[in-house]
Amino acid sequence: MRYKLGIVLALQVCALSAAPLFAHHGYANYDTDRKVTLKGTVTRWVWSNPHILVQLDVADENGRVAHWTVESENPSTLIRSGWNDKSLKVGDQVTITALPVKNGNPVGRIIDVLLADGTRLPGRVNPATEVKPEDSPKP
């Protein structure tokens, strides 16, 4: 009986300690009431699991450059939205609409990417933050 109780307790401890692993896929870190438009140059493009990553340099109206990092879904999800491993490359000029993080750091979650040729790449977002076509940046 003690052996079975020990196994049950061990399984409960494992289940409870694994719960935070599922939390990182939420939007709790992001300010879902605000969207930022980032016009800049891609400095790094990572097509990998668990999320794709884009780093870009964005100059403000005074010429100061902010180094932004934005992420989206995993490659297999984005492929269904028209993305591929060659969608972006270092040096590309892009306009990215993103949800910024709440703490003010230059980090965000991709809603929409507009390439220089006018191609739009949607990031997968929750319905409450989805960009309507009329809200998307224009080339």
Domain 36-135 falls under CATH 3.30.300.130:
no
The pLDDT tens digits for 4-45 are 655 655 555 555 444 444 445 577 889 999 999 999 999 999
- Token pair 């896929």 is at which residue? 25
pTM of the model: 0.73
- Count the alpha carbons within 13 Å of 134 in the hemisphere toward its beta carbon: 0
Predicted confidence (pLDDT) per residue in 47-82, tens digit: 999 999 999 999 988 999 999 999 999 999 899 889
Does pLDDT of 84 surpass 70?
yes
Query: Could you tell me if 106 and 67 are in contact, meaning their C-beta atoms sit under 8 angstroms apart?
Result: yes
Assess contact for 88 and 45: CB atoms under 8 A: yes
* Nearest residue to 88 via CA among 105, 104, 102, 71: 71
pLDDT score recorded for residue 123: 85
Domain boundaries, the chain: 36-135
Tell me the average pLDDT across 95-124.
Answer: 94
The DSSP bridge partners found for residue 44 are: 55
DSSP state of 31: -
For 39, phi then psi, to 5°, come to: -105, 115
Using a CB cutoff of 8 Å and minimum separation of 24, what contacts does 53-58 make? 54/88, 54/94, 54/96, 54/110, 54/113, 56/94, 56/96, 58/106
